[in-house]
Structures are given as structure tokens and as C-alpha cells.
Amino acid sequence: MRDFSSDHAALALNTASLGHNLEGHGARWEPERVIDACAARGFGSIVFWRREVGARAVAIGERARAAGLAVAGLCRTPFLVGTDAVDRMAVLDEARASIDMAAGLGAAVLTIVVGGVHPGTKGTTESLKIVADRVAALAPYAAERNVKLALEPLNPVYAGNRSCLTTVRDAVDICIAVDASNLGVAVDVYHVWWDSGLDAQLQRAGESRILGYHLCDWLADTRDVLLDRGMMGDGVADLKEIRKSVEAAGYAGPCEVEIFSANNWWKRPPEEVLDVMVERFRTVC
């Protein structure tokens, strides 16, 4: 297991931690200012959201690398299934546009949040089949552009409307069914911390399919399952144990802090949030 106590080069900022994934939240810094603040603190990489990149993908990617940061990822594709994803061709077109944006940024990985239960179906089985079909259609397009696709299972509380994909097990099943070398899984502690079968599924995924590791914490008395994530160390997730499993399966990439926190961290000065992240990363992750 890697030792981060005196080296946080593996630390990545997901800009959602500063509120940048939602309109009207956070300090609303420009990407350039975020890049400089991360570089000054020794972060190794950064992950952006589509809404802040817009038409400036190439320029922002180059700016990040010039400051010494790798662009570890882009969040995210549009939902591939669910009530907003009924028209297959329209969904695939929009997803291809997000792949183009990731390629322009030079982002290593594009995250997929798959969407909720598909209209006309119940449960998750049929929806997951549609996800597999649509991911299979997108994987070659992404491969041609050197973009890896990471299926991110979300906590089961979101299964209805945000992600019918809720476990690493189901994500690995889709990876095996689609069988594309640029398709894998993103492991986010917020979504998987409760899963007692996680270690075995990470082993099953293997090194080549673990494409991301996302950090935050699950607050025991969370007030909002979407926008009340905790800073690492403030909750009940066993962060060291999860990282041990992820790394035992072969993962050696960035550890990306992704904290949606409308009433706490997004209200603090970004400088403070970034400083706390570095300190917690070195001590509790």
C-alpha cells in the first residue's frame, strides 16, 4: 500500500469539491485559478466537469499540464438510460460529444454515471442491459480518441433516478459483457463503503479495469444523500481498508477527492478546502 504521509503527488482534485459541478454553488473560480491553487499545493492531477469546460477543452487541458497537473478525468457522460435518455441516437450523440471533450482536454478517463431505471421497466436488470448496449456502442469511439470509459456504480439510494448501476459487481459484469479494453470501473468510497463484498469484486475487476478511485466520507447522520458528503476522516467509511483493497487489486493511479457539500465545504474559501484535503489525505486516507 502506498505511503501518502509525506507525499501527496497522487492527490487529485475533482472540482465538484469546490461546488463547480452545480450552477450557483461554491466560489465560482475560473478553471485557471483552480489549476494554479492545486499546483501551488502539490496536487498531482485534476478532474473537471463538463459545465465548467464548455468549448475550452483544449486550452484548459494545456493550461493544467503547463502548471504541472495531469488531467486525470472528466465528469461525465450524460445519463445513458432513464427518463431523460429514451432516444438512443440522441443519447449516443451527446455521449460522443462528451468523449470529444475528454479527448480535447487530454483527460485520461471519462466517467459514466449511467442513469436511473429506464421507462417501461421495473427493477434494474433490463436497465443494465440497455446500459451495456449503449456502452458497447460508445467504447470504440472512445478508444479511437484515447479515452478510457469508467463505469461508476452509485450508492443504491440513487438507483431509481441517477444510477441503476449500484455495485462494483454489476459494473464488472458489464465490462466482461462488453469486452472493450478501454472500459473499466471508477471506485468511489461514497458509493461502495458499505459493500462487504467489495474486496472480492475489486480482485475480479483486476488492475486493467480499475480506472479511478474517488475519496470523501460518509457522514453517519447525513442530511442529504446528494449534497452532504463528508471530508475524509469526518465519517464512517474505512478509507484505509478500502484503499488497501483497491491497491491490492493493482490500482496505482490518482486518488480523487470528490465532495458534494452544499452547506459546509462549498461555503468555505477554496484555499481552506484544498489545505484541509492535503492534510487529511496525508493522515487518514
**255 DSSP β-pair partners:** 11, 213
* In the complex, minimum distance from the CB of residue 66 to Zn ion, in angstroms, rounded to a whole number: 26
* In the complex, minimum distance from the CB of residue 151 to Zn ion, in angstroms, rounded to a whole number: 11
* In the complex, minimum distance from the CB of residue 237 to Zn ion, in angstroms, rounded to a whole number: 13
Q: How many CB atoms lie within 10 A of CB 35?
A: 25
Q: Which is nearer to Zn ion, 174 or 255 (CB)?
A: 255
| Residue 70: CA count within 13 A, CB half-sphere | 15
Q: Which is nearer to Zn ion, 134 or 162 (CB)?
A: 162
Which stretches of the chain bind Zn ion, using CB under 5 A?
Answer: 188, 214, 258
* In the complex, minimum distance from the CB of residue 86 to Zn ion, in angstroms, rounded to a whole number: 25
Q: Reduce the DSSP state of residue 257 to 3 states and report it.
A: strand
How many whole angstroms separate alpha carbon 10 and alpha carbon 30?
Answer: 23
Whether the CB-CB separation of 258 and 215 falls below 8 Å is answered with yes
* In the complex, minimum distance from the CB of residue 31 to Zn ion, in angstroms, rounded to a whole number: 19
Q: Which is nearer to Zn ion, 21 or 182 (CB)?
A: 21
Reference 108, options 71, 81, 136; nearest CA is: 71
DSSP string, 128-184: HHHHHHHHHHHHHHHHHTT-EEEE----GGGTTTTBS---HHHHHHHHHHH--TTEE
Q: Which is nearer to Zn ion, 90 or 226 (CB)?
A: 226
* In the complex, minimum distance from the CB of residue 154 to Zn ion, in angstroms, rounded to a whole number: 8
How many whole angstroms separate alpha carbon 61 and alpha carbon 57?
Answer: 6
* In the complex, minimum distance from the CB of residue 185 to Zn ion, in angstroms, rounded to a whole number: 11
How many whole angstroms separate alpha carbon 17 and alpha carbon 262?
Answer: 10
DSSP string, 26-45: S----HHHHHHHHHHTT--E
| Residue 30: CA count within 13 A, CB half-sphere | 8
Q: Which is nearer to Zn ion, 170 or 258 (CB)?
A: 258
Q: Which is nearer to Zn ion, 126 or 230 (CB)?
A: 230
